[in-house]
Amino acid sequence: MQVGIKKLRENAVVPVYGSQFAAGADLCACIDESVVIGAGETRFIPTGIALELPAGYAGLVYARSGIACKRGLAPANKVGVIDCDYRGEVMVALHNHSGEAQTVAVGERVAQLVITPYITAEFIEKDELSDTVRGSGGFGSTGRK
């Protein structure tokens, strides 16, 4: 699949996959100087790129396991969603879950982009829904008893 990409700044880095079968392509910080994110704070980190995703596909922005587990830096919204009709700059709302300030370096890989197909549903209001064994059991209802 080909995805159109536009560099919005000269120092922007085109997303790259870390291995042949990687699902996510790395998104890099397109900043002029290091950014400090205090404990419990969120900062918007620009990537310097815009995407042209094909119709029927979305870009999902996930945490990179290394900086999430080792430094507590992960997208504030857990998973960012880039719609196929969005043409603005891809930004990463990076939250510091750790107890100390963390520094994001120029060009650092801050998140990963997974491109996936999606289905647009037609929601139909009904008076009754079909019965299932589970029924309305929610949070933890299918776990151990």
Residue 135 banded pLDDT, cuts 50, 70, 90:
confident
pTM metric for this prediction: 0.89
pLDDT in tens, 23-78: 999 999 999 999 999 999 999 999 999 999 999 999 999 999 999 999 999 999 99
| C-alpha distances out from residue 74 to 1, 89, 98, 110, Å | 27, 19, 10, 8
Give percent of the chain above pLDDT 90.
90
Q: Which domains does the chain have, with CATH numbers?
A: 4-117 (2.70.40.10)
SS3 81: strand
